[in-house]
Amino acid sequence: MPIVSLADSSVPLPDCLVVDASLLLVLRSGSRHYHKTSAVSFLQRVASECLAGNMICLAPTLVLEECYFKIVQTSIAGLTSSYWHQHYKSNPQVIQQSIPAITAFYQMVQALPVTIVTSEDLALTQPGDTLEERMRHFISAYNLLPKDAYILAVAERLGVNDVATLDSDWQRATQFTVHTC
């Protein structure tokens, strides 16, 4: 399937889209991704279509986990001159500093609106190969990292062919229409 530029506003949006953490993370204040302008414009188009009831934007729970991890990591790293993880292990309460940023990020995701796909939701879909089997398939077939392969396995399980990301690795996922920069 094709690679679609998310910067091209003349390309119609799909009825359903699965998004990756790399795309959602541009919503954070202070994000300096070099494709931020295109990504934000794309997400604004998606939001408009979702709010009008013309499309559904989905994110597996794993995508939120990735976003929250990055928010926590960035928050703690800004508080110490040592390695952020070591600082956290010595001072676990420091994670409280990131709670407002996590909450604000979640509110932005909900405002899009993004529907979070949980394991309970996936249990209701058509049975077939397990997600783990499909994840291994996508790792092997497209040389993807496990989290990326898992997100694609979720999209496939949900019957969604369109995915959006800022991760160039996904361009190898020829089974999907990849909206990217």
When the pLDDT of each residue in the chain is averaged and rounded to a whole number, the result is 93
13 in any annotated domain: yes
134 in any annotated domain: no
Q: How many domains does the chain have?
A: 1
pLDDT at position 126: 67
123 in any annotated domain: no
Output phi, psi for 180, to 5 deg: -155, 180
User: Domain span at residue 99?
Assistant: 3-117+160-180
pLDDT at position 41: 95
CATH (domain of 51): 3.40.50
Task: Tell me the residue type at 34.
Answer: Y
124 in any annotated domain: no
pTM score, two decimals?
0.92
Give the single-character DSSP code of 3. E
pLDDT-based confidence at 121, cuts 50/70/90?
Answer: confident
